[in-house]
Amino acid sequence: MAGVFAAARSALAASALLRPPLLTHSQPPHPSAASVPVDRIRNIGIIAHIDAGKTTTTERMLYYVGYTKRIGEVDQGSTVTDFLKPERERGITIASACIPFAWRNHRINLIDTPGHVDFTIEVERSMRVLDGAVCVLDAVAGVEAQTETVWRQANRYKVPRIAFVNKMDRNGAGLGKTVKAMETRLTGWGRPLVCQWPVVRDGTSTINGLGSGGPGFEGVVDLLSMDVLDWRREQTGSVITRSPLTPESDGSELYDQCLSAREALVEALSDIDERIVEIFLDVDGDHLRIPAAELRAALRRVTLNGKGIPIFCGASFRNIGVQPVLDAICDFLPCPADRPPPHAVSPSGKEVPCHLDDKEVCALAFKVTHDPKRGALVFVRVYSGTLERGATLINPATGTKERATKLLQMYADDYEEIASISAGNIAAVSGLKETATGDTLLSSRDKRGLILDTIAIPPPVFVRSCEPVTSADERALSSALKALVREDPSVHVAYDDETGQTLISGMGELHLEITADRLEETHKVNCKMGKVNISYRETIDFDALPKRKIVQHIAYDRETFGKRSKVSLTLEIEPLEAWDDDQLVRAASTKQTPGGNQVVVALARDNYRVFGADLTAPTNLSTYASRSELNAAVQEGLLGALGRGPLLGFPLTNLRVTCTDVTLYGADMSHPAALRAAAAACLREALAGTGSTPDANSNSSILLLEPVMDVSVRVPEKYIGVVTKDVAGTRRGHVLSLGEDTTASGDDEYARRTVAATVPLAQLVGYASALRGLTAGTGDFAMELRGYGVVQQDRVEGIMHEIRGY
Ligand SMILES: Nc1nc2c(ncn2[C@@H]2O[C@H](COP(=O)(O)OP(=O)(O)OP(=O)(O)O)[C@@H](O)[C@H]2O)c(=O)[nH]1
């Protein structure tokens, strides 16, 4: 096999001979997935705020494990994991890349995730299949806004983690202050446990402050062994000189600091690990006599049970401190067997166990990518059984059977064919045409029928129209969009019947820009892209109506070839009041009317759910379609009408629509396409009957809703006034709190305070550069969708004008 993989293999073979041996340990040959016992597998993600140094750290790892022959640099566009053209052009990670490699006889499946908020789905789906994570922090910026977001994502999936405080070579870097910030801001998981102390020298004298870094940063003290690890011997950082820490050779200041740091580590460990208390008593309270191996074992226990977060420090860019992180991944992060079995249910909703040693295959498809040569590749994490090449798999949710034609071990953008994927491993499958992100795949003979929890996909908040340039582009567009949506489920596509435009929605301006690039670059479809707009929603203002429930009997008739046919629907429309998706779904399902004669469609944002979808067979006449096809046609018609609101054509939300009766007159109407159109027309008429009109000046009972974001802005104290004023004034935000920075002294120029606020998304377009301007480049922010809020009437007209252009 050509390419990176082959290069990696030969590099691995050669590395043992050519590379100067590391003083920490020598490299074993690369073990293949099949030969590695499960306790030596680590499925690990690298997570952090944008620019913390995830990719830089990953590139060093790949070099030290012998995967690459030279170190790739983000700034030169030469990295292995950021292989997409826009990633190299922009110097940022867009798609998560997975690379397996060997370190100390372990197999590490490493996923480098993006830090940019627009690509949060990449973090979400990686987190869903990971067993552990390395959180990279910038030692100068400390805990940045997006770090908090990815931390919460890791909390949601209960992913054990270690932290790497990077960029210790920069002025203003500090291990101590970063750890303090972690204690207060990265909550909901274990406590930070400092395992290393920075060594900073200026010339010959030690100038170590309280864990501070700087340009003289050259190594660390391992607080477990009390050895100094020095990277000065060799430029690429491949050789580490290890020597015992002594006051004579390293200075009494550094020695004393490390004694205190080790004491603090032992104390913190004894708070959360009973075995360390026993050992501490055995050694008469002398923490220096606790063997490093015991501390290592305790750190593993507390990392796995979520009580502790081992902390390391370094400067990846300067090639300092990365190998101990690789060691820590093996020593402290869980193997697949250490993790609780994944949550799985039967189609009826009953919990079904899924164990690693079950014989039948159970896998989760967590990502789909489009490979120009091989077509769609589905990335899977196998939770039980061994997936063999050529196996037939079934999707228990849809009953679809597909053949896993080829199994591939992926190496960023390169692949090696393999014969099987054993339980606990991550790899890619080709040949699956229907499988999408979040689908469960089982052996076709599996009787369990279990369905794994799917992957939460955030709703899109920006939208942009797209028109193919030529008729060839028009033909290619629909299959290209299908492939794009399959690859990236946070991209949504809708077709506007009225304007004939295709609408693409996504997570942000950059996300939509990259999606357009992909249409052109990967799928070779040329399109005229419209302006990026906020993806608004519409709903009925029930407060403006006499009743909180609309019941309408609506008939729809048409004449074809002189023959009249008719359908009549009874529709009930009610409000669903909830702030977020989960509440909406709960509200929708609990309010279900008893009895089977209904189609109930509930909406959660643009995420439509169908409950109790069983209408009594319409009429007693002979029909063209089966009862289930007719039921599906009614649902599709209603969903279609709900996807295009009467005010501006944005999807309707927070409504429950129940169809309690359908009567067909004439067999023509029993054609699914006719019934679908009739159901859509009836619902549109029912909505129009609410008094809604597309005219903003009339007494419209349709409300426009806009995405409202939870925003957290971090700025130096001196900018807090100007930023708060901007958020609350210009941006129509609601300031919730002004957090104190308890981790730094007042005169620390790197101290930050956090403004927490809710702000309409429309007011945040271009905020990154505005914030840079307001704070001389020192502020950063993160945002997450909080929910949808009503757009005040004074703004509706402006929005209508902007969108319609009149
Ligand atoms: N001084 C210094 N700069 C570093 C260090 N590590 C990374 N950088 C620089 O920081 C910038 C961002 O590094 P990346 O590795 O792309 O950061 P990232 O976290 O992968 O960024 P995204 O993937 O875009 O979220 C680059 O210019 C790096 O050269 C370090 O240890 N010291």
DSSP designation for 143: S
User: From the CB of 166, is ligand 1 less than 6 Å away?
Assistant: yes
Average pLDDT over residues 230-257: 89
pLDDT at 247 over 60: yes
Given the CA of residue 316, which atom of ligand 1 is nearest to it?
31
Distance 55 CA to ligand 1 centre (A): 7
Residue nearest to ligand 1 atom 32, measured at CA: 167
The residues with which 410 forms a beta bridge, in sequence order, are 415
- Mean pLDDT, to the nearest integer, of 107-136? 84
Percent of the chain with pLDDT over 70: 80
Q: What is the pLDDT of residue 1?
A: 36
Looking at residue 276, its pLDDT comes to 94
For 563, the token pair is 């023959």
3-state secondary structure of 723: helix
Specify binding-site residues for GTP: 48-55, 112-116, 166-169
Q: Whose CA is nearest to atom 2 of ligand 1?
A: 167
Q: Which atom of ligand 1 is nearest to the CA of 318?
A: 31
Range with the poorest average pLDDT among 111-115, 266-270, 538-542: 111-115
Quote the tokens at residue 40. 């030596």
- Contact between residue 775 and residue 692 where contact means Cβ atoms under 8 Å apart: no
Pocket lining: 315 vs ligand 1, CB cutoff 6 Å: yes
Q: Which amino acid is at 716?
A: P
* pLDDT of 3: 42
Residue 350 in this model has a pLDDT that exceeds 90: no
Q: Is the CB of 93 under 6 A from ligand 1?
A: yes
ipTM of this predicted complex? Answer: 0.98
Q: Is the CB of 169 within 6 Å of ligand 1?
A: yes
Q: Is 317 in the pocket of ligand 1 (CB under 6 A)?
A: yes
Which comes out higher in pLDDT, residue 442 or 74? 442
The predicted pLDDT at position 521 comes to 83
**Per-residue pLDDT band at 85 (split at 50, 70, 90):** low
Ligand 1 atom closest to the CA of 52, numbered from 1:
19
Give the pLDDT band of residue 158 (cuts 50, 70, 90). Answer: very high
Q: Residue 639 in 3-state DSSP?
A: helix
Q: Over the Cα atoms of the chain, what is R_g?
A: 29
Mean pLDDT of the chain: 80
pLDDT over 80 at 700, yes or no:
no
Residue 167 Cα, ligand 1 centroid: separation in angstroms? 8
Question: Is the Cβ–Cβ distance between 624 and 664 less than 8 Å?
Answer: no
Is the Cβ–Cβ distance between 645 and 498 less than 8 Å?
no
Which whole-number Å values give the CA distances from 254 to 257, 312, 744, in the listed order?
Answer: 5, 17, 21
In the three-class reduction of DSSP (H, G, I as helix; E, B as strand; rest coil), residue 543 is classed as helix
Ligand 1 pocket test target in 49, 56, 82, 136 with most atoms within 8 Å of CB: 56
Question: Residue positions in the annotated binding site?
Answer: 48-55, 112-116, 166-169
The mean pLDDT value for 296-317 works out to 96
Nearest-atom index, ligand 1, CA of 320: 31
- pLDDT category, 221, cuts 50, 70, 90? very high
Kindly report, residue by residue over 734-756, the tens digit of the pLDDT.
999 887 665 554 455 567 788 99
Q: Are the CB atoms for 241 and 229 separated by under 8 Å?
A: yes
Q: Please choose from 168, 171, 317, 318 the residue to mutate so as to test ligand 1's pocket, defined by most ligand atoms within 8 A of CB.
A: 317
Expressed in angstroms and rounded, the spacing between residue 582 Cα and the centre of ligand 1 is 37
* Closest protein CA for atom 4 of ligand 1: 317
The residue whose CA is least distant from atom 14 of ligand 1 is 53
Distance CA 466, CA 527 (A): 6
Asked whether 58 lines ligand 1 (CB < 6 A), one says no
| 316 in contact with ligand 1, CB cutoff 6 A | yes
Instruction: Pick the residue whose CA is nearest to atom 24 on ligand 1.
Output: 92
Query: DSSP class of residue 658?
Result: E
In the chain, pLDDT over 90 holds for what percent of residues?
Answer: 29
Which secondary-structure segment (H or E) carries 279? helix 274-282
Q: Is the pLDDT of residue 499 over 80?
A: no
- Give residue 751 CA to ligand 1 midpoint distance, Å: 21
Instruction: Express each pLDDT in 720-734 by its tens digit.
Output: 999 999 999 989 999
Q: Whose CA is nearest to atom 5 of ligand 1?
A: 317
- Return the SS3 of 12: helix
Q: Is 55 in the pocket of ligand 1 (CB under 6 A)?
A: yes
Ordered by where they begin, the domains of the chain are: 2-338 (3.40.50.300), 343-452 (2.40.30.10), 462-535 (3.30.70.870), 540-697 (3.30.230.10), 706-804 (3.30.70.240)
Distance CA 576, CA 334 (A): 42
Task: Please state the atom number of ligand 1 nearest to the C-alpha of residue 113.
Answer: 23
pLDDT value, residue 14? 34
Task: Determine what percent of the chain falls in helix, strand and coil, rounding each to the nearest 5.
Answer: 30, 30, 40
The answer, yes or no, to whether residue 57 has pLDDT greater than 70, is yes
Ligand 1 midpoint to CA 649 (Å): 42
pTM above 0.90, yes or no: no
Q: Is residue 7 pLDDT above 50, yes or no? A: no
Q: What is the 3-state secondary structure (H, E, C) of 223-274?
A: CCCCEEEECCCCCCCCCCEEEECCHHHHCHHHHHHHHHHHHHHHHHHHHHCH
pLDDT at 759: 94
Q: Which of 512-526, 618-632, 647-661 has the lowest mean pLDDT?
A: 618-632
Mean pLDDT lowest among 287-296, 471-480, 496-505: 496-505
Ligand 1 centroid to Cα of residue 91, in Å, is 9
**Confidence check: pLDDT of 617 > 50:** no
More confident residue, 55 or 195: 195
Q: In the structure, what pLDDT confidence band is assigned to residue 17 with cuts at 50, 70 and 90?
A: very low
- Other CB atoms within 10 Å distance of the CB of residue 499: 11
Q: What are 543-561's pLDDT values in tens digits?
A: 877 777 777 777 777 766 6
- Distance CA(456)–CA(441), nearest Å, equals 18
Residue 383: pLDDT above 90? yes
Look-up of token digits 């005040």: 792
More confident residue, 51 or 9: 51
Q: What is the pLDDT of residue 596?
A: 42
Contact between 140 and 743 (Cβ < 8 Å): no
Q: At residue 579, does pLDDT exceed 80?
A: no
Q: Over 90: is that where the pLDDT of 673 sits?
A: no
Q: Give the three-state DSSP class for 276.
A: helix
Listed range (240-244, 260-264, 789-793) with the worst mean pLDDT:
789-793
Which of the residue ranges 406-410, 460-464, 584-588 would you say has the lowest mean pLDDT?
A: 584-588
**Band (387; pLDDT cuts 50, 70, 90):** very high
CA 451 – ligand 1 centroid, Å? 39
Mean pLDDT of 580-599: 54
Ligand 1 neighbour 74 (Cβ under 6 A): yes
Q: Average pLDDT of 306-326?
A: 96
Q: 161-176: per-residue pLDDT in tens?
A: 999 999 999 988 999 9
The Cα 437–Cα 369 span in angstroms is: 10
pLDDT for 597 equals 46
pLDDT class for 96, splitting at 50, 70, 90? low
Q: What's the whole-number mean pLDDT along residues 635-648? A: 84
* Ligand 1: centre distance to CA 680 (Å): 52
